[in-house]
Amino acid sequence: ALTGGYSQVDVSADAFLDEQAFERLPNVPPSPFKVAGQEVCLVCMRGGTVASINGLDQLRKLPSFVSLDTDVKVGGEVSASVDLFTCAGSLILMHQDPAVFEEDLRTVRQMETECALFDLQEESCSSSEANDSAAEADASASTASEPEVEAEEERHEQ
């Protein structure tokens, strides 16, 4: 109904309850749509305890904002998104000007990438960063030691 003038629910009801209304519907959806829009599944890049939801409040101020459905709240736990079941919420964006919609969508995706949808408590962020740093240190240590091991093996062979 929001982009083409009718919804699947309305059409399904008409098919069973109002045959004349159903017959008046076009065989294909109207084109172009009345507005540009999309459901955006919000991606959480890392998990932790939520300290602030300021980013979610910023989403509500976007010109194309229609609705936001999320269970994220201050003090709650979030996990990194890996599929539809672990998304941080469902955001509906829609605007008559496709350029406004596209810009808002870019803003949302940038906020996701920058982990700016909500703030996590410091220990959540620092422990994640510490694990990343430890993994990098392990990788560089093993890479650096390989030439030394080869040199040592050559000395023993002589």
pLDDT digits (tens, 9 = 90+) for 65-117: 999 999 999 999 999 999 999 999 999 999 999 999 999 999 999 999 999 99
Which of these, 85, 2, 78, lies nearest to 36 by C-alpha position? 2
66 vs 92: CA distance, rounded Å: 5
Cα angle 130, 45, 97; round to 5: 150
How confident is the model at residue 140, as a pLDDT? 41
| Per-residue pLDDT tens over the stretch 13-66 | 988 999 898 888 888 777 777 889 999 999 999 999 999 999 999 999 999 999
pLDDT at 133: 38
